[in-house]
Structure 1
Amino acid sequence: MLAALYTVTPTSSAVAATGYKFDFGNGAVQSGYMGVRAEDAYSAARGYGFNTPASMRNVSASGSGVGSDAVQFVTYGTKSTNTFNVDLPNGLYNVKVMLGNTSRSSVAAEGVYQIINMTGNNAVDEFQIPVTDGQLNLLVTEGKAGAAFTLSALEITQLSSNPTTHPTIYIGGDSTVANYYPLDSSVQGGWGQMLQQYVSPSNFLVRNLASGGQIARGFRNDGQMEAILKYIKPGDLFIVQLGINDTNPKNTTTEAEFKEYMRDMVRQAKAKGAIAVLSTPQGRATDFNSAGVHNAQGRWYRAATVALASEENVPLIDLNVISSTYFTSIGPAATLQLYMEGDSLHPNRAGAIQLARLVSEELKRQGLTP
């Protein structure tokens, strides 16, 4: 259950409020929240509601409190008009979402992704977003075809009247980088999920848009890069680590093609005044030779990433080599303990924490973060 921040009474004066707490579905309304049913259409007098309620459904959920019911977005997509709309004074807001029952869903607002692939019933996550047109437009959308895209609760808190995002590290990547849920206790982990532990939020917030199975072409073309480019600004960092899935023959991406997709994303981020940073993926847990030395430099199109960093004059985090040095220092058995059981590719939570530590140390060494 989401903790109560404050109580908002559903009157017309709430339109000008700087915070809302919504409990979705047709069940009992949790104390301190405003109840919103699927049939509640947006009205200017109320200041919130669904843009197209005919495309919404009330559904049950398996949690307790606000997580016991939800609404389902029957039509969806980042550009869909089937949104939940909230009138807000312009400014910077923190948005906390709790899903209903779903296997994998993403959250979009203002026409772009905000959170990628939340998994599990009543998953919780949050993001910061600038509001510049007096209204937040949000929906839960596709993370996996065939899933139910549901929303149980929403908390919106104004952080500032200035709609400028804090300095941010945006991350692109694949399953070794992505978020896993629950965020604070997941068995599997991605280093992007853990990076904020090593970066003070007073210096940089971390926005991780990595997703499992992703390739460079997909990250560029299917909405994740679009979301980053909407918000990224001078002084922000864009770290992109791809290549593992690009090398899979089913994705039909040559190393030369991979390099050009990556080059295009680097140049787009630089054109926004941000600092683009290339990272190479770590190797497999089993990449040890008979002398106990870990080496994975031949994996994942690493040579293309290293060459591109030099050609575009951008920083390189050669996590492939850095992690091999660390794995060699702790040995094969301890390295295997940092990966999912029976899996030599995907880090578990402890492994993701160590990889995030290595990334943060390299960022600091290169003067990219305080």
Structure 2
Amino acid sequence: MEYRFDFGAGEAEAGYTKVPAGTAYDKALGYGFEGGIVNERDRGGPDKLRGSFCIPVNASFLVDLPDGNYTVTVTMGDQIAPTTTTLKAGPNRMILHEAAASAGQFLVRSFTTNVNTGQLKLSFSGIAPRVNAVTIRPAPQATTIFLAGDSTVTDQETFPYAGWGQMLPLYLNAEVAVVNEAKSGRSSKSFLNEGRLQPILDRIKPKDFLFIQFGHNDEKTDEERATDPFTTYKQYLNVYIKEARERGAIPVLITPVQRRKFGADGKIIDTHGDYVTAMKELAAEENVPLIDLTASSTALYESMGDEPSKALFMWAYPGEFAAFPEGAKDDTHFQELGGIRIAGLVKDGIKELGLMPLCVYLRD
């Protein structure tokens, strides 16, 4: 079944459901806006879809759907004013970042996203956001990338915190969906022991991908998380590899993203040590594709320098962000810019490996 929504004032385009600005989400209705401020305009014009629109400022449009992959096409624009729209899907997964259109220009963007809570959530923000129309259709054939990892990967909920996994959709076209099951504080051991791999295995299908990044918390000393690089760390990672392969999926190992720790010589001081070496050994032993995110993130930080690289991380002055009134000094976790840049390094790794078909599904 295909869902078609026409936003704003006036009559609906044929075959579309009209969604005025005042349409609050209602379970009986099965769709509507939540949060923020939503206004509308009707400019008339060549057709009803482009003539009218809603202006959703930090508002989300919710649609109740059965779980699965869906291809969503969004039309955004205004006949007389330039627009800038940021769009996130689900739990803060970045789809469009400050997508700009000139007056009279209409952007039509398609992407595929996964629904596993019975509801699709599209969140709009930006300097001058617009939404003219949204169509949604099932995409069971889409390739899915499942992510297993820690807080540097996960879908962070508190702005501007961001894991690279929630920014990865920016670099993928509508042939690919991302399911981010990464969880803060987990190691390769605790993620398994808590049963967090099983929901991935229940849904993964042949030719899907399982991206695996652990290391930050394997380095901790508590019994729940600690692993030894060349024994238990490799053993736990091998479980992910074998379970994915048993289901016809493709495992990809990703070395842990580097922390921001500069030495006096302006070079990054490595904090992951033998865990990176051990993962590379395992990749060679099991013939698993590997993206060396430790190396590429180190090169990124060093190219920027000590002070400028803080812009990638959760460094903030008091009062700079509402959620952090006293400021923050965090050299491990990213804000949105950092998540976007690190996801870009993962995209580069996919391209360098020639991972088919992912490497032909990449956006620049």
Tell me the distance in 2 between the aligned counterparts of 1:137 and 1:191. Answer: 22
Match of residue 114 from structure 2 = 128
**Given that residues 70 and 140 in structure 2 are in contact (C-alpha distance below 8 angstroms), is that contact kept between their aligned partners in structure 1?**
no
Distance (whole Å) between structure 2 residues aligned to residue 31 and residue 284 of structure 1: 45
Structure 2 residue corresponding to 1:365, chosen from 346, 352, 356: 352
Q: Which runs of structure 2 are paired with 1:2-41 in the superposition (5 Å)?
A: 5=5, 35-36=26-27
Identify the residue that residue 159 of structure 1 maps to in structure 2: 137
- Residue ranges of structure 2 left out of the alignment (5+ in a row): 8-15, 39-63, 73-89, 94-111, 120-133, 316-328
Question: Cα offset for 1:290?
Answer: 2.8
Written as runs of structure 1 = structure 2, the 5 A alignment for 1:317-328 is 317-328=291-302
- Which position in structure 2 is the counterpart of 1:247? 219
Change (3 A) 1:290 1:231: same
Over 3 Å counting, the alpha-carbon distance change for 1:191 and 1:273 in structure 2 is same
Which residue number corresponds to residue 197 of structure 1? 170
Q: Alpha-carbon deviation of 1:338?
A: 1.6
Match in the other structure for 1:315 = 289
User: Residue type matched to 2:160 in 1?
Assistant: V
Quote how far apart the aligned CAs of 1:298 are: 3.9
Aligned-residue offset at 1:91? 8.2
Which residue does 1:181 correspond to in 2?
A: 157
Whether the 8 Å CA contact 1:247–1:300 is kept in 2: the answer is no
CA 1:202–1:304 in 2, change beyond 3 Å: closer, same or farther?
Answer: same
- For residue 335 of structure 1, report the CA deviation from its aligned partner: 1.9
The offset of 1:266, in angstroms, is 1.1
1 or 2, which has the higher strand percentage?
2
Query: Within 5 Å, which residues of 2 pair with 1:1-370?
Result: 5=5, 35-36=26-27, 93=70, 127-129=113-115, 138=118, 159-160=137-138, 164-181=140-157, 186-199=159-172, 201-250=173-222, 251-255=224-228, 256-286=231-261, 288-296=262-270, 298-299=272-273, 301-341=275-315, 342-368=329-355, 369-370=359-360
Q: Give the C-alpha shift of residue 166 in structure 1.
A: 0.7
User: What is the CA–CA distance in structure 2 between the aligned matches of 1:34 and 1:350, rounded to whole Å?
Assistant: 31
Separation in structure 2 between the aligned mates of residue 181 and residue 137 of structure 1, nearest angstrom: 16
2-side partners of 1:34 and 1:354: how far apart? 34
Q: Percent identity?
A: 32
TM-score of the superposition, structure 1-length normalised? 0.58
Partner deviation per Cα, 1:128-158 (whole Å, 9 max, x = no partner): 35xxxxxx9859xxxxxxxxxxxxxxxx986
Provide the TM-score with structure 2 as the length reference. Answer: 0.59
Cα deviation for residue 234 of structure 1 reads 2.4
Equivalent pairs, count: 266
Moved more, 228-237 or 189-198: 228-237
Structure 1 position 64, deviation (Å): 7.4
Distance in 2 of aligned mates of 1:36 and 1:366: 45
Q: Alpha-carbon deviations, 1:166-208, whole Å to 9, x = none?
A: 11211111111111237xxx31111111111122x23422221
